[in-house]
Structures are given as structure tokens and as C-alpha cells.
Homo-oligomer: A and B are copies of this chain.
Amino acid sequence: MATYQRIVEAALEVLATRGWRHASVAEVAARAGVTRGAVQHHFKDRDGLFTASVQHIMDTRIHEIEALQHADYPDGERTRTIVHTIIELHQGTSFTAALQLCVAASDDPTLRSRVAAMELEVGARGFWALIELLRLDGNDPTVRTTVQAFLDSARGLGLAGMLNDDSRRRRLVADRWAAMLDELHTTNPDTRLRPNP
């Protein structure tokens, strides 16, 4: 794995487990198996290391969502597969690391403006990628608010999965979301039979 990638993954692990205040460059370097100098070569300073690592994983997640566009799905399983994938992307270390950053930013004016802007930008990109992926009409207010409710739900499932094994319930909620999102096609005949682009 490239050094940059190794450092980012180590930074997310350290941020997720230690929290913003206790996450150190030294621990990231040790965990990535590189020198502190190597970390400094790639990242301006400590805060830059952790914010850029969260930004990097967010970008990666958006690309993963966009890449689903070209995946093959079994008949009738397209929405369900996409919904399950997006919900699972909101679980685990990268979710916890992003959450640690948000919680820290909520009480730190400098960090807050940076992280708030990142959240808005990533949120908008994820939203439009999903609209595209589900072949929905992003100009339809009902479509927009339903997709937003789904993305909020995915975040809420991320929280619920942090403390308890919530995987069974999560699958049931995901199946229900697939049905609710598919209903948007049924009520909107224009998009119902839109061919695979």
C-alpha cells in the first residue's frame, strides 16, 4: 500500500479510538510503520493530518457510491443492493473517525467552519450521486426530501451501530428503505421505466 494511504488509514484508526484531543501524530506514524518525518512530508500539521484523512475517506466513499452506477445488479435488486451498500458505508472506523471530528468541531470555532463546509460539500455530492444512481428526478421535492431522509437514516444507523450489534435490525430497515425509495418510481411514471443509462 502507498505510504499516503497507510498514513490515512492509521490516522482514521487513531482518531476513531483516541478522539480528537488525544489523537497524536506519533501514534499515527507508529501504526502506519513510517517516521514522523514521512507524516510531515504529506501533511502540514497535526490538525491537517486528521482533517485531510477524514476528507480523503469521504472522497473515497463518494467515489465508491458513484462507481455503483456501473455495477451489475440481479433483476429487481438494484435499489436494494445500493441501499444496503450505502448504509454499510456509514458503519465502522471511518464513520467513527468522522463523528469524532464533527463532535470536536462543534465546540471549536476554527475547526467548525472547516468541517462544516466539508460536511455540506460531501453531503451534496453524496445526495446527487444517489439521485443519479437510483435514476430519480432530483427536481421533484418529494424525491429530494425522501432521499435526504434516507441519508439521515443511514447516519443514524451509523450511531446505533457503534455500541450494539445492530446488524439484523439494520438489514430490515435497509429493506424497508429500498421499498420506500422504489415507491418513488411507482408514483412518478416518468422515471418508472427509464432505461439503464
Interface size class of A (residues with CB under 8 A): 35 or more
- Contact among B19, B102, B145, B164 with A120 in the assembled complex (CB-CB below 8 Å): B164
Chain B residues whose C-beta falls within 8 Å of the C-beta of A20 in the assembled complex? 19
CB distance from A109 to the nearest CB of B (A): 12
Query: Nearest Cβ distance between residue A37 and chain B, in whole angstroms?
Result: 29
How many Å lie between the Cα of A152 and that of B144 in the bound state? Answer: 18
A155-B149 contact in complex given A21-B22, A103-B100, C-beta closer than 8 Å:
no
Number of copies: 2
- Asked if B96 and A175 make an inter-chain contact with CB atoms under 8 angstroms apart, the answer reads no
With an 8 A cutoff between CB atoms, is A159 at the interface?
yes
Cα A116 to Cα B19 with chains together (Å) = 19
In the complex, A95 Cα to B99 Cα: how many Å?
A: 13
Task: Beyond A103-B162, A155-B156, list 15 extra A-B contacts (CB 8 Å).
Answer: A17-B107, A19-B103, A119-B163, A145-B175, A149-B153, A149-B176, A149-B177, A152-B153, A152-B155, A153-B153, A153-B156, A156-B156, A156-B157, A156-B159, A159-B159
**Residues in chain A within 8 A of chain B (CB atoms):** 16-22, 96, 99-100, 102-107, 112, 115-116, 119-120, 123, 141-142, 144-146, 148-160, 162-164, 169, 172-173, 175-177, 180
